Amino acid sequence: MRRERLALLSIAIAAAFLFAGSAQAQKPMDLSGLWVRDDGGVVRFSQDAQKVRAVHVELAVPIRDVFGFRPGDDHMAGILEGRTLRGKMYVHLPVERKSRCPEQWARLTDIELTVSEDGNTIEGRWEWHQVRDKDCSITRREWQPRRYARLQSTPTAGPGHLSVVARGSHLMPLRLALILDASLKVLPLPVAEATLRFEMPEDKAIEALNRWAGRPLPISASAWNGGDLGLRLSGAAAAVRAACGKLGGERIEEGEARAFWSGIREHTDPFFRTEMPLWRLSVPSATPPLALQGAQMIEWGGALRWLATNADARTVREAARRAGGHATLFRGGDKSAGVFQPLEPGLAKIHCRLKASFDPEGIFNRGRMYSDF
pLDDT by residue for the chain (373 residues), tens only, comes to 445 544 544 554 454 444 444 444 456 788 999 999 888 889 999 998 899 999 999 888 778 888 889 888 999 999 999 999 999 999 988 887 888 888 888 889 999 999 998 889 999 999 988 888 778 888 888 999 999 999 864 444 444 444 444 444 434 444 566 777 788 878 788 899 999 999 999 999 999 999 999 899 999 999 999 999 999 999 999 999 999 999 999 999 988 898 899 989 888 899 998 889 999 999 999 999 998 999 999 999 999 999 999 999 999 999 999 999 999 999 888 888 888 888 888 888 888 888 888 888 777 777 777 777 7
Sorted by where each starts, the structural domains of the chain and their CATH numbers stand as 33-155+165-169 (2.40.128.30), 187-273 (3.30.70)
User: Distance (Å, rounded) from C-alpha 183 to C-alpha 332?
Assistant: 33
Instruction: Give Cβ neighbours of residue 151 (< 8 Å, ≥ 6 apart).
Output: 33, 34, 35, 36, 42, 166, 167
Strands (DSSP E) found in the chain: 33-37, 42-48, 51-58, 74-81, 84-92, 106-115, 121-131, 138-150, 161-162, 165-166, 169-170, 174-175, 192-199, 219-225, 228-235, 250-251, 278-282, 295-299, 304-308, 326-331
Q: Is 172 exposed, middle or buried (0-12, 13-18, 19+ CB in 10 A)?
A: exposed
What is this structure's pTM? Answer: 0.55
